[in-house]
Structures are given as structure tokens and as C-alpha cells.
Amino acid sequence: MKILVTGGGTGGHIYPALALIKRMKAINDDIEFLYVGTHRGLESTIVPNHSIPFKALKVEGFKRKLDFEGLKYNLKTIGYFIQSIKRSKKIIAEFSPDAVIGTGGYVSAPVCYAAAKKGIPTVIHEQNSVAGITNKFLARYVSAIAICFKDAENQFKGQEEKVVFTGNPRAQEVADIQANDSLKRFGLDPKQLTVLIFGGSRGAAAINNTVIDHCQALVEADYQVLFVTGREHFEALSSKWKDSCGSENDQSKISIVPYIEDLPSVFASVSLVVSRSGATTLAELTALGVPSILIPSPNVTEDHQTKNARSLSEAGAAELIREDELSSSRFIETVNQLMSDVDMRNDMAAKAKQLGVPDASDKIIHLLMTLMNG
């Protein structure tokens, strides 16, 4: 059996694809995979590092601002898209896949479009509560649409019969991780109450600045803090912390690091997570049943992170704080309230777990097999 996988641009599109591939290999090691991504996206390095055959397309996203420069750019983008369809047809003809799955990002468009036009069973996977422009475009051509949030169900007008709730494959990949001693790596005590604060792999300036603004309260708190700044912010923030609140007394309970490679292992070992509300992060938090404070990024398409976060907050599985509320005392008050109330955290954890989909990959695999078998 041959499966072609496509998706890229951000980790939110790449890691679900890798999780699905990993699960399919565990079930049948004879499956042959080919991953098609962009020539300069994160997938161009991440995927080959997982020993998965990789081919690249040159494709760009459209500019939303339609001034002269935007129109000029979009005309060039249309040219890339037409060329990438031709390239996709060639790749598909050479590889001859039994099925194709696209996990989002602009690169999914030409590949899934070309596959669907050839009559190959094709599935697109939408991770967010707000469907992306690529998946909306592809919806009418593909065989099925896998979603992770019920809110996305009604966003594929005229194609509702194709929509299947599967969840995010990343959830199944991490669901069995147990509490461990991973906090020792950061100089913290695994037996103590711990808050993990991070703003994504690149960090988030608003979250980082809020932590610095409240550093004295965090130093004086009865819990530990693991603060992930993002690589590009680490040196400056470490210096700011030292100037504002650094002392020998806080070294054993405050750990500041630039990046964490295996976040789910840490998620499973902390008492509370404060983070953005990207789809992959929420899939991991719900799979593991971790209480959280979610601070959505306002700088994403159609404010989809806020809608993602609401799916948890309205279920009682998380607290939602808007970024424009961070300048108030609400941040530290919410953290302290949750860290002082174990029953509240346990209730949130249980409700988060109820939202998790621990068999997400298996659901997508079943969908693919059903399509391939007619």
C-alpha cells in the first residue's frame, strides 16, 4: 500500500501528519509513504529527519491586502499554483498512491486537487475550529473532510456529507504519556506544584512581557514555574528577569528555558499550563487531561485561536484570557486561583480529558480504508 501525505508551513500541519504516519507504520510496516511539502517550510527539514521520503513544491500563499503590491504578488502566486499542479500530477503518476491525505497549508491545495481529479481517494484534515482557506477550496473535490472541532462541521457549505469528526492524530500519539520526572531536566522538583508557561515554539512577546511584569508575584508564590521564552527571546528575557526579580532564592523554583523539545512529556508532569491555543497544543492538553489558561494569539486568520480556546473554556476545561486583558492583574490572579484550588484543577482536568480523542489516528485510518475499499 502507498500513501501520499501533504501539509506544511507550520508545526500545526506537520506534526499531525507525522503522528498519523507513525501510527500507520505501527499497524503495517509495509506501507510506503511519500511526503510532499514546500521547499522552504519547516517540513523540508522535519520530515526528512524522520526518515520519510520527501519531495518539495514551490508554492506560496495569497496576500489578503489587495493593493498594487498585493495584486502583483498574487498573480505570481497563481503562476506558482498552476506549476505546482503540473508538478503534483507528475509526482502522483510516479508514486501511484492508493490514497492521499492533506493536513493543511498552501502546499496541500495543488497536491490534493491533482489527486482528487485523478479519482484517488483523498482526505483533508482540518485541525482548527475555523476552516482554513486551503481546505475550504479543496472541500468540493476531495473524498472526505476530517475535523477536530465540532465548530468546523458547518463551515464546508454544500459538502457537509463529507465531514467526519476524527480528532487530531497528535492526541493519540501522546495520550498514554504518564507523569514523570522530566522537570528534573530543568532543575525543578517533580513532586512540587508546577506551572508551565509558554507561547509556542517561537515564543509570544505579550505572554513573555506579562511574565516579567509579574515576576515578583511568581517568585513569592507557593509553586514552581517553568517559563519557556522561545529561542529568539531567551537572552533578552533572562537578562530582564535577572534585573527585575533574579535572586539566588528563586533558582530552585523558577526555571527559564528557550525551548522544550518534548512538550507533551512535560505537560503530563505539571499542574497547570499557560499557553496559546493552537490546535496541536489543545489536542495534546485534552488527550492528557491537563488544566490550562489559554491566551489566544490575535494575529491568526479569522481569530481561530480564540474559537479554539472557547471550545475548551465553554466546556469548563480551561480558562480563557484575551491578550488585551494581560496588562491587568487578571493573569496572576487566575494563575494563583487555580494553583491554590486542587479541586478546581482536577475538575478542569477531567473535563479536558472528556474532550480528548485518544483514537484520532485510528479514526482517520478507518476512514481511509473505507474510501479505498469503495
The answer to whether residues 81 and 59 touch, using CB atoms and an 8 Å cutoff, is yes
Do 169 and 187 belong together in one domain? no
In this structure, the answer to whether residues 315 and 367 fall within a common structural domain is no
C-alpha 130/C-alpha 150 separation (Å) is 10
pLDDT on residue 248: 47
If asked whether residues 204 and 291 sit together in one domain, one would say yes
Q: Write down the residue that cell numbers 485510528 correspond to.
A: 362
Per the CB < 8 A criterion, the answer to whether 129 and 314 are in contact is no
Do 349 and 271 have their domain in common? Answer: yes
Does residue 210 sit in the same domain as residue 198? yes
**Which residue in 199, 198, 179 sits closest to 190, CA to CA?**
179
**12 and 37 co-located in one domain:** yes
Number of domains in the chain: 2
Rounded CA separation 142/54 (Å) = 22
CATH of the domain at 220: 3.40.50.2000
Together in a domain, 84 and 95: yes
Low-confidence ranges of the chain (pLDDT < 50): 68, 72-74, 248-249
- pLDDT at position 328 is 77
Tell me the DSSP string of 12-23: HHHHHHHHHHHH
All residues at 6 or more sequence positions from 225 whose CB lies less than 8 Å from its CB, including other chains:
194, 195, 197, 218, 253, 254, 255
**C-alpha 296, offset from chain centre:** 13
Cα-based angle 190, 321, 65 (whole degrees, multiple of 5) = 120
pTM, rounded to two decimals? 0.90
Q: Which domain holds residue 301?
A: 182-355
* 161, 203: one domain: no
Torsion sign over Cα 329, 204, 231, 356: positive
- Is 117 found in the same domain as 80? yes
Binding residue positions for UDP-N-acetyl-alpha-D-glucosamine? 10-12, 128, 201, 260, 305
Contacts of 41 (CB under 8 A, 6+ apart): 8, 9, 10, 105, 107
Same domain, 75 and 129: yes
**Rounded Cα gap, residues 224 and 253, in angstroms:** 5
Same domain, 207 and 128: no
As a whole number of Å, the CA-based R_g of the chain is: 21
Report the distance separating Cα 360 and Cα 167, nearest Å.
5
In the annotated binding site, the residues are 10-12, 128, 201, 260, 305
The tens digit of pLDDT for each residue in 94-139 reads 999 999 999 999 899 999 999 999 999 999 999 999 998 899 999 9
pLDDT tens column, 146-161: 999 998 998 999 999 9
Provide long-range contacts, Cβ within 8 A and 24+ apart, for 294-300: 294/318, 294/319, 294/320, 294/321, 295/199, 295/204, 295/206, 295/207, 295/321, 295/322, 295/323, 295/326, 296/320, 296/322, 296/323, 297/200, 297/204, 297/323, 298/322, 298/323, 298/324
Same-domain status, 366 and 324: no
